[in-house]
Amino acid sequence: MTEFEYKIIDNVIYTPNSDCKPDPKGVGHYYYAQMLKYQNRIAQIDGYTKEEDTFGSLLQRCVRTALTMLDKGLKPGDHISLCAYHHKNSAVPHIASYFTGTIMGAIDPAMSAEEAAHLLKQTLPKVIFANPSTVGLVEEVVARIGTKIEIVVFGETAQHTPFSEFIRLHKNEDTFKPREVEDLNETALIVFSSGSSGMPKGICHSHLSLLYYTNVPRTDVEQILYTVVNPYWSIFPVFLKLSIESGHTRVIYPCFNTNDLWTLFYQHVDFAFLNPLQALQMVRSDKSDKVNLKNVDFLILAGNLMTLEQIDEIKRALPFTNVVHGYGQSEMFSTIFSFNPTAAGLELLKKNPSSVGTVVKGVNYKVVDIETEKVVGPNQIGELRIKTAAQCSGYFNQDSTECFDSDGWLKTGDLFYYNEDLCFYIVDRIKESFKYLHYHISPVEIEKVIMKLNAVDTVVVIGIPHKYDCNHLMAVIKLKTNAIISAEEIVKYVEENIEDKKRLRAGVKFVNDMPMTITGKINRFKLKKMILNNEI
């Protein structure tokens, strides 16, 4: 059970308000004050070179970058972007955006130019910061967008602006003060994520959303944090906040290196995050002499569904680490569930090893039957919906009605149930999007390609669970009357017309009819269930 009192009224779980008191002047003001407070502590360490960077040094570079941005005419509400792997300066433009009131919306270096351009056409950034290795991608994206965008390079460059110009001594740095917001509901950050259908959308997080916390353990004792995600991932600003808020040190590695899988265990780490697929890949590989299995205290695994067998496999390989199957949403900046690192919390985790956690302060919960919209009780499956100050304010410049129900609760798009201990279990995703490896896949894109075939009447692309790759894509197809086309022809057609990560690795299944919802839409959840149960 939880370590605080809560109420359940008509199956809705209400928790006490968080103890959080957000800085009324906004994220920039708060981060500036915290970095000044911890200026002599180590903010980040390069995992390979062991180079240390203090909060004072990091703050100085952030201030200089903010001043240079202002000198270039950027103003509050303008958008900037970042296309970089993890390194010493990758967080600098991110923090500087809070200092200036500009809005960061980072893209993934592994994206195609088409995907990245789709995202940045929504925000039209004035500046994009890039690694030397990602400049080519950014140049193509800028060409596709067709507006004037300055490219700033973390390194040597002949054609663009070197980042070194942003961190030179500035005459106003000693008197600089970060911008104070007028309203904590102003947008502070945009995180791009796949929606329940169609292409990815920009998720808007306000200053209140970023500053609010639920029950993430807060301590002034210096701790070491580890994650290998780049700034595009929603966990990046979360770990950045944890570091700045409490003076914790982030260990930095450029990315998850498939040729060097055990970097997490090269040094002591108090709190780490990995994608489950990364963790499985790690524990199934050989360890070098540099690995010490006693180095890591807590490891959170989140981003993909996990079976109990997979969780057990990881726990067996990491006997000295508390391994937790976590759950998060790009639409929610703070913690949704957790097991407190107390004796009682760890005992609850031991009792419920495949649970993603129990309720936290400052978040209210309900599980809703997806057919009837009725709120259900313990051990009944339905969509998880939450309400908290830490949730997003909606999508950027797009209809956000699909984000919330009629009462303003955030719809997660995921099926859950909880038990008598109030431990929650994720069952499946009802969102149309899903993951292949760490890529978000939007079925609509592949369906549009397949629908160009004259023989196809209806197509639904679903994810078939895979032991190593999260999901493999399958096309479920209803053909037109008397039409003839083979599964092999369709698979080959898709391979020739779409990116590798979107190929039909689970093949094609032909059906006579599609299951439909009451409102006349294809019931994707039911269709997938029927496929997995071999009912069709």
Same domain, 425 and 471: no
Same domain, 383 and 452: no
Residue 411 lies in a domain: no
Q: Are residues 230 and 102 in the same domain?
A: no
In a domain, 424, yes or no: yes
Decide which of 398, 431, 464 is a domain's last residue. 431
pLDDT digits (tens, 9 = 90+) for 94-145: 999 999 999 999 999 988 898 899 999 999 999 999 999 999 999 999 999 9
pLDDT at res. 160: 98
Same domain, residue pair 509 and 528: yes
Q: Report DSSP state, residue 181.
A: P
Q: Which of 372, 404, 431 is the last residue of a domain?
A: 431
Q: Measured over all CA atoms, what is the biggest interatomic distance in the chain, rounded to whole angstroms?
A: 77
Closest CA to 325 of 99, 336, 429, 221: 336
- Which residues sit opposite 249 in a β-bridge? 224
Q: How many distinct structural domains can be found in the chain?
A: 3
Q: What is the pTM of this model?
A: 0.82
* 83 and 223 housed in the same domain: no
Letter for the amino acid at 157? T
Task: Looking at the structure, tell me whether residues 368 and 458 fall in a common domain.
Answer: no
- The answer on 425 and 471 residing in a single domain is no
- The owner of tokens 């180590």 is 42
- In 106-248, where do the E strands start and end? 127-130, 150-153, 161-162, 187-193, 201-206, 224-226
How, if at all, do strands 357-358 and 423-429 pair?
Answer: antiparallel
Nearest of 229, 235, 237 to residue 103 by alpha carbon: 237
Antiparallel, parallel or unpaired: β 375-376 and 382-387: unpaired
CATH number at residue 61: 3.40.50.12780
Structure tokens at 425: 């279990």
Strand partners, 300: 273, 324
- 391 by DSSP, 3-state: which? strand
Residue where a domain stops, chosen among 139, 168, 183 = 183
The rounded distance, in Å, linking the Cα atoms of 177 and 167 is: 17
Q: Count how many Cα atoms sit within 13 Å of the Cα of residue 168 in the half-sphere of its side chain.
A: 10
State whether 352 and 259 are in the same domain: yes
Does 408 reside within a domain?
no
Give me the half-sphere count of Cα atoms (radius 13 Å) on the Cβ side of residue 228. Answer: 22
Segment 15-20 long-range contacts (CB within 8 Å, at least 24 positions apart) = 15/359, 15/360, 15/361, 15/362, 15/363, 15/364, 15/365, 16/361, 16/362, 17/361, 17/362, 18/212, 18/213, 18/214, 18/215, 18/361, 18/362, 18/389, 19/361, 20/211, 20/212, 20/213, 20/362, 20/389
Q: What is the pLDDT of residue 518?
A: 44
Tokens of 431: 């969102």
Q: Return the structure tokens found at 381.
A: 């499956």
- CATH code of residue 444: 3.30.300.30
Q: What angle separates helix 308-317 from helix 276-283, to the nearest 10 degrees?
A: 50
Residue indicated by tokens 């910061």 = 129
* CA-wise closest residue to 349 among 275, 421, 286: 421
CB 206 within 8 A of CB 188: yes
Three-state DSSP at 149 gives coil
CA of 215: how far to CAs of 33, 300, 347, 363, 429, in Å?
A: 22, 15, 18, 10, 25
Q: Is residue 397 part of a domain?
A: no
Domain extent, residue 1, equals 1-15+219-389+416-431
Decide if 211 is inside a domain.
Answer: no
In a domain, 45, yes or no: yes
Same domain (yes/no): 255, 228: yes
Query: What pLDDT score was predicted for residue 519?
Result: 41
Given a contact cutoff of 8 angstroms between Cβ atoms, the answer to whether 493 and 447 are in contact is no
Is 395 part of any domain?
Answer: no
Could you tell me if 239 and 342 lie in one domain? Answer: yes
Q: Is 76 domain-assigned? A: yes
Identify any residues that bridge with 502 across adjacent strands, giving them in sequence order.
none
Residues 421 and 515 in one domain: no
Q: Which stretches of the chain drop beneath a pLDDT of 70?
A: 1-2, 194-199, 214-219, 431, 517-521
Q: How far apart are CA 520 and CA 511, in angstroms?
A: 18
Are both 174 and 291 inside the same structural domain? no
Residues 136 and 92: their CA atoms lie apart, in Å, by: 22
